[in-house]
Amino acid sequence: MTDAVAPEAEWLLLIYLLPAKHSHARVQAWRRLQRLGAVALKNSAYVLPNSAEAREDFEWIKNDIVGSGGQAMVLVARAPEAATRDEIVRTFQSARAEAFDELAREASTLLERLSRSPTSRAKGSGRRESKQAIRRLRERFEDVVRVDFFGTPARDRVAELLARIEQGARKGATMKTSTRASKINPAGYRGKTWLTRPRPGVDRMSSAWLIRRFIDPDAKFIFGDPSKTREAIPFDTFEAEFGHHASHCTFETLCDRFGIADDGARWIGRIVHDLD
Protein backbone atom coordinates (compact mmCIF):
# COMPACT_ATOMS: atom_id res chain seq x y z
CA MET A 1 0.00 0.00 0.00
CA THR A 2 1.04 3.58 -0.51
CA ASP A 3 0.29 6.62 1.62
CA ALA A 4 0.50 9.16 -1.18
CA VAL A 5 -0.61 9.48 -4.77
CA ALA A 6 1.90 10.55 -7.36
CA PRO A 7 0.92 13.60 -9.42
CA GLU A 8 0.65 11.49 -12.56
CA ALA A 9 -1.53 8.84 -10.91
CA GLU A 10 -4.52 7.71 -12.91
CA TRP A 11 -7.88 6.48 -11.75
CA LEU A 12 -10.37 4.06 -13.20
CA LEU A 13 -13.99 5.20 -13.21
CA LEU A 14 -17.04 3.01 -13.63
CA ILE A 15 -20.14 4.98 -14.57
CA TYR A 16 -23.35 3.02 -14.92
CA LEU A 17 -27.11 3.28 -14.98
CA LEU A 18 -29.53 0.51 -14.11
CA PRO A 19 -33.32 1.01 -14.17
CA ALA A 20 -34.99 0.80 -10.76
CA LYS A 21 -36.93 -2.27 -11.84
CA HIS A 22 -33.64 -4.19 -12.05
CA SER A 23 -33.18 -4.15 -8.29
CA HIS A 24 -31.36 -7.49 -8.11
CA ALA A 25 -28.77 -6.38 -10.68
CA ARG A 26 -28.31 -3.09 -8.82
CA VAL A 27 -27.67 -4.86 -5.52
CA GLN A 28 -25.34 -7.36 -7.17
CA ALA A 29 -23.28 -4.62 -8.80
CA TRP A 30 -23.07 -2.69 -5.52
CA ARG A 31 -21.88 -5.76 -3.62
CA ARG A 32 -19.19 -6.53 -6.16
CA LEU A 33 -17.95 -2.94 -6.06
CA GLN A 34 -17.78 -3.11 -2.25
CA ARG A 35 -15.68 -6.27 -2.40
CA LEU A 36 -13.28 -4.56 -4.81
CA GLY A 37 -12.87 -1.62 -2.45
CA ALA A 38 -14.26 0.88 -4.97
CA VAL A 39 -15.70 4.11 -3.58
CA ALA A 40 -18.39 6.39 -4.98
CA LEU A 41 -17.46 9.91 -6.06
CA LYS A 42 -20.26 12.47 -5.77
CA ASN A 43 -22.75 9.59 -6.14
CA SER A 44 -22.08 9.50 -9.86
CA ALA A 45 -19.18 7.12 -10.45
CA TYR A 46 -17.16 4.42 -8.71
CA VAL A 47 -13.39 4.74 -8.66
CA LEU A 48 -10.34 2.52 -8.13
CA PRO A 49 -6.61 3.20 -8.50
CA ASN A 50 -5.72 2.31 -12.06
CA SER A 51 -4.25 -1.17 -12.53
CA ALA A 52 -4.66 -4.06 -14.93
CA GLU A 53 -6.48 -6.07 -12.26
CA ALA A 54 -8.87 -3.20 -11.47
CA ARG A 55 -9.53 -2.68 -15.17
CA GLU A 56 -10.44 -6.33 -15.61
CA ASP A 57 -12.75 -6.25 -12.56
CA PHE A 58 -14.54 -3.12 -13.77
CA GLU A 59 -14.93 -4.57 -17.27
CA TRP A 60 -16.57 -7.69 -15.82
CA ILE A 61 -19.02 -5.60 -13.82
CA LYS A 62 -19.71 -3.38 -16.85
CA ASN A 63 -20.53 -6.43 -18.98
CA ASP A 64 -22.86 -7.80 -16.32
CA ILE A 65 -24.65 -4.45 -16.04
CA VAL A 66 -25.11 -4.19 -19.81
CA GLY A 67 -26.27 -7.81 -19.90
CA SER A 68 -28.91 -6.94 -17.30
CA GLY A 69 -30.34 -4.17 -19.45
CA GLY A 70 -28.33 -1.26 -18.07
CA GLN A 71 -25.69 1.09 -19.41
CA ALA A 72 -22.07 1.29 -18.27
CA MET A 73 -18.66 2.56 -19.30
CA VAL A 74 -15.14 2.37 -17.88
CA LEU A 75 -12.96 5.47 -18.11
CA VAL A 76 -9.39 6.34 -17.21
CA ALA A 77 -9.09 9.74 -15.51
CA ARG A 78 -6.43 11.97 -14.00
CA ALA A 79 -7.12 14.50 -11.24
CA PRO A 80 -6.41 18.05 -12.48
CA GLU A 81 -4.79 19.18 -9.23
CA ALA A 82 -3.31 17.90 -5.98
CA ALA A 83 -6.34 18.95 -3.92
CA THR A 84 -8.61 16.73 -6.01
CA ARG A 85 -6.23 13.79 -5.70
CA ASP A 86 -6.08 14.26 -1.95
CA GLU A 87 -9.86 14.35 -1.74
CA ILE A 88 -10.10 11.03 -3.58
CA VAL A 89 -7.52 9.48 -1.26
CA ARG A 90 -9.42 10.74 1.81
CA THR A 91 -12.59 9.16 0.43
CA PHE A 92 -10.83 5.79 0.23
CA GLN A 93 -9.33 6.17 3.71
CA SER A 94 -12.67 7.20 5.20
CA ALA A 95 -14.39 4.12 3.76
CA ARG A 96 -11.66 1.81 5.06
CA ALA A 97 -11.60 3.57 8.44
CA GLU A 98 -15.28 2.70 8.95
CA ALA A 99 -14.54 -0.96 8.28
CA PHE A 100 -11.46 -0.97 10.55
CA ASP A 101 -13.36 0.81 13.35
CA GLU A 102 -16.07 -1.86 13.24
CA LEU A 103 -13.45 -4.60 13.39
CA ALA A 104 -11.71 -2.83 16.29
CA ARG A 105 -14.96 -2.77 18.28
CA GLU A 106 -15.55 -6.47 17.66
CA ALA A 107 -11.93 -7.34 18.44
CA SER A 108 -12.06 -5.37 21.71
CA THR A 109 -15.26 -7.18 22.71
CA LEU A 110 -13.75 -10.57 21.89
CA LEU A 111 -10.52 -9.77 23.75
CA GLU A 112 -12.49 -8.72 26.82
CA ARG A 113 -14.60 -11.88 26.70
CA LEU A 114 -11.59 -14.17 26.37
CA SER A 115 -9.75 -12.34 29.14
CA ARG A 116 -12.74 -12.64 31.43
CA SER A 117 -12.99 -16.43 31.01
CA PRO A 118 -9.55 -17.71 29.96
CA THR A 119 -10.25 -21.35 30.80
CA SER A 120 -13.26 -21.54 28.51
CA ARG A 121 -11.00 -21.44 25.46
CA ALA A 122 -9.73 -24.95 26.16
CA LYS A 123 -13.09 -26.55 26.87
CA GLY A 124 -15.22 -28.28 24.27
CA SER A 125 -17.54 -26.10 22.24
CA GLY A 126 -16.28 -22.92 23.95
CA ARG A 127 -12.78 -23.51 22.63
CA ARG A 128 -14.08 -24.16 19.13
CA GLU A 129 -16.32 -21.11 19.15
CA SER A 130 -13.42 -18.91 20.25
CA LYS A 131 -11.14 -20.39 17.59
CA GLN A 132 -13.75 -19.81 14.89
CA ALA A 133 -14.44 -16.25 16.06
CA ILE A 134 -10.73 -15.41 15.94
CA ARG A 135 -10.35 -16.94 12.49
CA ARG A 136 -13.37 -15.08 11.10
CA LEU A 137 -12.12 -11.80 12.54
CA ARG A 138 -8.67 -12.36 11.02
CA GLU A 139 -10.17 -13.19 7.61
CA ARG A 140 -12.34 -10.07 7.63
CA PHE A 141 -9.36 -7.95 8.63
CA GLU A 142 -7.29 -9.33 5.76
CA ASP A 143 -10.16 -8.67 3.35
CA VAL A 144 -10.18 -5.00 4.35
CA VAL A 145 -6.38 -4.76 4.25
CA ARG A 146 -6.46 -6.10 0.69
CA VAL A 147 -8.46 -3.03 -0.43
CA ASP A 148 -6.77 -0.51 1.88
CA PHE A 149 -4.93 1.13 -0.99
CA PHE A 150 -3.64 4.12 0.98
CA GLY A 151 -2.60 2.79 4.39
CA THR A 152 -5.49 3.91 6.61
CA PRO A 153 -4.09 4.62 10.13
CA ALA A 154 -6.96 2.76 11.82
CA ARG A 155 -5.57 -0.50 10.44
CA ASP A 156 -2.74 -0.58 12.99
CA ARG A 157 -5.15 -0.60 15.93
CA VAL A 158 -6.97 -3.69 14.62
CA ALA A 159 -3.68 -5.45 13.87
CA GLU A 160 -2.56 -4.84 17.45
CA LEU A 161 -5.82 -6.17 18.92
CA LEU A 162 -5.71 -9.27 16.74
CA ALA A 163 -2.11 -9.96 17.74
CA ARG A 164 -3.09 -9.77 21.43
CA ILE A 165 -6.09 -12.04 20.88
CA GLU A 166 -4.08 -14.65 19.00
CA GLN A 167 -1.24 -14.53 21.52
CA GLY A 168 -3.73 -15.04 24.36
CA ALA A 169 -5.37 -17.92 22.52
CA ARG A 170 -2.01 -19.67 22.13
CA LYS A 171 -1.22 -19.22 25.81
CA GLY A 172 -4.65 -20.53 26.76
CA ALA A 173 -4.36 -23.70 24.72
CA THR A 174 -4.05 -26.06 27.67
CA MET A 175 -5.52 -29.11 25.97
CA LYS A 176 -3.80 -32.42 26.45
CA THR A 177 -1.29 -33.29 23.74
CA SER A 178 -1.54 -36.63 22.05
CA THR A 179 0.86 -39.35 23.03
CA ARG A 180 2.96 -40.31 20.04
CA ALA A 181 5.28 -42.74 21.82
CA SER A 182 3.14 -45.84 21.25
CA LYS A 183 0.76 -46.83 18.51
CA ILE A 184 -2.49 -48.64 19.29
CA ASN A 185 -3.24 -52.04 17.78
CA PRO A 186 -6.68 -51.82 16.09
CA ALA A 187 -7.36 -55.46 17.02
CA GLY A 188 -8.06 -54.39 20.59
CA TYR A 189 -10.79 -52.04 19.42
CA ARG A 190 -12.84 -54.38 17.25
CA GLY A 191 -16.41 -55.28 18.09
CA LYS A 192 -16.79 -52.06 20.09
CA THR A 193 -19.34 -49.28 20.28
CA TRP A 194 -18.12 -45.74 19.73
CA LEU A 195 -19.81 -42.71 21.24
CA THR A 196 -19.80 -39.06 20.24
CA ARG A 197 -21.88 -35.93 20.66
CA PRO A 198 -25.23 -35.49 18.86
CA ARG A 199 -25.52 -33.52 15.62
CA PRO A 200 -22.11 -34.54 14.23
CA GLY A 201 -20.13 -32.17 12.04
CA VAL A 202 -17.48 -32.85 9.44
CA ASP A 203 -14.82 -34.07 11.91
CA ARG A 204 -17.08 -36.56 13.67
CA MET A 205 -18.65 -37.88 10.46
CA SER A 206 -15.30 -38.36 8.76
CA SER A 207 -13.86 -39.92 11.94
CA ALA A 208 -16.69 -42.47 11.96
CA TRP A 209 -15.81 -43.34 8.35
CA LEU A 210 -12.13 -43.67 9.34
CA ILE A 211 -12.98 -46.01 12.21
CA ARG A 212 -15.08 -48.24 9.94
CA ARG A 213 -12.48 -48.18 7.17
CA PHE A 214 -9.25 -48.76 9.12
CA ILE A 215 -10.05 -49.83 12.69
CA ASP A 216 -13.26 -51.88 12.83
CA PRO A 217 -15.51 -52.46 9.80
CA ASP A 218 -18.31 -53.56 12.15
CA ALA A 219 -18.05 -50.63 14.59
CA LYS A 220 -21.30 -49.31 16.01
CA PHE A 221 -21.95 -45.65 16.82
CA ILE A 222 -24.18 -43.99 19.38
CA PHE A 223 -24.70 -40.39 20.53
CA GLY A 224 -24.85 -39.20 24.09
CA ASP A 225 -22.95 -38.42 27.29
CA PRO A 226 -19.75 -40.48 27.80
CA SER A 227 -20.24 -40.44 31.59
CA LYS A 228 -23.52 -42.34 31.19
CA THR A 229 -22.24 -44.99 28.78
CA ARG A 230 -18.95 -46.16 30.25
CA GLU A 231 -18.58 -49.19 27.98
CA ALA A 232 -18.57 -47.12 24.79
CA ILE A 233 -15.40 -45.57 23.38
CA PRO A 234 -15.79 -41.78 23.27
CA PHE A 235 -14.40 -39.77 20.37
CA ASP A 236 -14.50 -36.05 19.66
CA THR A 237 -15.92 -35.34 23.12
CA PHE A 238 -14.49 -33.21 25.93
CA GLU A 239 -11.24 -34.70 27.28
CA ALA A 240 -11.63 -37.82 25.11
CA GLU A 241 -8.46 -39.74 24.29
CA PHE A 242 -9.56 -39.67 20.67
CA GLY A 243 -10.36 -36.00 20.23
CA HIS A 244 -8.74 -32.66 19.53
CA HIS A 245 -5.17 -32.52 20.79
CA ALA A 246 -2.83 -29.61 20.20
CA SER A 247 -3.48 -28.59 16.58
CA HIS A 248 -4.91 -31.97 15.55
CA CYS A 249 -8.58 -32.56 14.81
CA THR A 250 -10.10 -35.89 15.89
CA PHE A 251 -9.57 -37.46 12.46
CA GLU A 252 -5.85 -36.68 12.63
CA THR A 253 -5.59 -37.92 16.21
CA LEU A 254 -7.09 -41.27 15.20
CA CYS A 255 -4.64 -41.54 12.31
CA ASP A 256 -1.71 -40.91 14.64
CA ARG A 257 -2.81 -43.16 17.51
CA PHE A 258 -3.70 -46.13 15.31
CA GLY A 259 -0.75 -45.66 12.97
CA ILE A 260 -2.91 -45.14 9.89
CA ALA A 261 -0.36 -44.25 7.22
CA ASP A 262 -2.64 -44.53 4.19
CA ASP A 263 -1.88 -41.57 1.89
CA GLY A 264 -5.55 -41.07 1.01
CA ALA A 265 -6.60 -41.00 4.66
CA ARG A 266 -3.84 -38.51 5.50
CA TRP A 267 -4.94 -36.30 2.64
CA ILE A 268 -8.55 -36.41 3.84
CA GLY A 269 -7.26 -35.54 7.31
CA ARG A 270 -5.78 -32.29 5.99
CA ILE A 271 -9.10 -31.41 4.36
CA VAL A 272 -11.04 -32.19 7.55
CA HIS A 273 -8.55 -30.12 9.57
CA ASP A 274 -9.13 -27.08 7.36
CA LEU A 275 -12.92 -27.47 7.33
CA ASP A 276 -13.10 -28.03 11.08
- 2: confidence class by pLDDT, cuts 50, 70, 90: very low
What pLDDT is stored for residue 60 in this prediction?
94
Sign of CA dihedral 202, 207, 208, 213: positive
Q: Which of 5 and 276 is assigned the larger pLDDT?
A: 276
Supply the DSSP symbol for 214. I
Question: What residues does each domain of the chain span?
Answer: 11-78, 84-171, 186-275
Determine the residue type at 64. D
Q: How many C-beta atoms surround the C-beta of residue 170 within 10 A?
A: 9
pLDDT tens for residues 74-92? 999 998 899 999 999 999 9
Task: For residue 4, name the pLDDT band (cuts at 50, 70, 90).
Answer: very low
11-78: in CATH 3.50.30.30: no
What global pTM score does this model have?
A: 0.57
In this predicted model, what pLDDT tens digit does every residue of 205-249 receive, in sequence order?
999 999 999 999 999 999 988 777 878 999 988 767 898 876 688
| pLDDT, the chain, mean | 85
Dihedral sign (CA 116, 122, 123, 128): positive
Residue 176 has pLDDT above 70, yes or no: no
- The CA-based dihedral angle spanning residues 154, 160, 162, 164, taken in that order and rounded to the nearest 10 degrees: -160
Q: Is the pLDDT of residue 141 over 90?
A: yes
Residue 188 CA: distances (Å) to CA of 184, 196, 199, 204: 8, 19, 28, 21
Question: Which residues lie across from 75 on neighbouring strands?
Answer: 13
